[in-house]
Amino acid sequence: MIVRFGYVAMSTVVKNASPSKTMTYKTFSSLSDREAAVRRLELIGADNLHNTLRLLRHNEANDIKVYRFSSKLLPLATHDALYDWNPYAALKDQFQEVGDFVKQHGMRVSFHPDHFMVLSTPRPEVLHSSLRDLRHHVAMLEAMGLDGRAKNNIHVGGAYGDKLSAAERFRENVTALPDSIKNRLTFENDDKTFNALETLELCEALGIPMVLDIHHQWVNNEGEQPVDLWPRIQRTWQSPHAQADSPSSDPLPPKIHASSPKSASDPRGHADHVLAQPLLDFLRAIAPATKRVDVMLEAKQKDGALFMLMEDLRQYEGDGVQFLSEASVRIQP
């Protein structure tokens, strides 16, 4: 089984390369010249996209093929007061440069919209803002010229005192989405509400691929083991929505999230780094029935944690672990 490792948004290795610089609406509204204020937003967005490209070049230099974009590339892009602003057109060249680099180097990229993007909500105004945010993420991927392999990963959302009703609202709202949005969706189990089994059942019902978070599953489960769910999870990656717009010769492999608990008192929090042994145990368990899998590391040290994990995995080289690059390995069944 071939395993590629990636990280989230920011680098702790590359200096002064934040892709998440922002401007508050308070600052924006305090500027008397609205046109000049919008230009400032565009300059911030251009700088964020430039730093994203710097990080992608850093990733390529280190054989990192899996990366999650920052959701904060465009400050205030979904704010009600900026309904007439089209940042995707204004920053067309910058978006295209990022997308071209991704395609040229065969990278797997994604977004993870913020926690306020909730499709299980009973409140129409929250659903409205959630759908707007989801459309925004799709628009950024389209501005990059990326096909349906570039996904938006979301959680199911809150239970609001009635998990069955919340799940049904989620199903109805996802079903109503156009394919242009559904084809880019993945669902992830969370650490408090919708566990791996419940999320998997929604993925199966809606034909959406599931991203298994093995840390979330550890702190929120019904007693099932992630390995036992894996055959069903893996099949969700064969659905039409999973492979939409993907060349048949290059189907997307399943994807998981991995992190380690911050501490015994904060088991849900993410540690600075990822412990190698628990992750390797899981990867070895799924290897006999899995050809490829991509692992997104959700550690506080970002790419620094990825480099440390690879160093830690070196001790298993020759013991069923073969290094293929600086950020990928082959796990022998």
180, 207 contact by CB (below 8 A): no
Q: Give tens-digit pLDDT for 57-92.
A: 999 999 999 999 999 999 999 999 999 999 999 999
pTM for this entry: 0.96
**Whole-number pLDDT of residue 15:** 96
Q: Where are the beta strands (DSSP E) in 193-291?
A: 210-213, 255-258
Average pLDDT over residues 158-165: 96
Instruction: Please say if the pLDDT value at position 245 is more than 70.
Output: no
pLDDT band for 35, please (50, 70, 90 cuts): very high
Cα-Cα-Cα-Cα dihedral sign, residues 195, 291, 293, 310: positive
State the DSSP H helix or E strand holding residue 101, giving kind and residue range, or none if neither: helix 92-104
DSSP letter at 82 equals G
**Whole-number pLDDT of residue 247:** 54
- Percent of the chain beyond pLDDT 90? 94
| Nearest to 63, CA basis, from 264, 250, 276, 324 | 324
**Whole-number pLDDT of residue 242:** 79
Q: Give tens-digit pLDDT for 186-231.
A: 999 999 999 999 999 999 999 999 999 999 999 999 999 999 999 9
Report how many helices (DSSP H) and strands (DSSP E) the chain contains, helices first. 13, 10
C-alpha span between 298 and 256 (Å, rounded)? 10
Instruction: Please say if the pLDDT value at position 165 is more than 90.
Output: yes
292, 286 contact by CB (below 8 A): no
* Mean pLDDT estimate for the chain: 95
**Whole-number pLDDT of residue 244:** 67
pLDDT band for 314, please (50, 70, 90 cuts): very high
Average pLDDT over residues 106-134: 95
CB atoms within 10 A of CB 99: 20
Question: What residue has token string 């590391």?
Answer: 297
∠ CA(52), CA(154), CA(81), 5° rounding? 70
Torsion angle defined by CA atoms of residues 313, 315, 318 and 322, in that order, rounded to the nearest 10 degrees: 20
Complete DSSP assignment for 250-271: SPPPPEEEE--BS-SS-TTSBP
Structure tokens given for 132: 């707007």
197, 224 contact by CB (below 8 A): yes
**Whole-number pLDDT of residue 240:** 80
State the DSSP H helix or E strand holding residue 28, giving kind and residue range, or none if neither: helix 25-30
CB atoms within 10 A of CB 142: 16
C-alpha span between 153 and 110 (Å, rounded)? 7
Return the axis-axis angle of helices 92-104 and 34-61, rounded to nearest 10°.
10
| Nearest to 121, CA basis, from 161, 153, 152 | 161
Contacts of residue 264, defined as CB under 8 A and 6 or more positions apart, other chains included, come to: none
Structure tokens given for 264: 């015994």
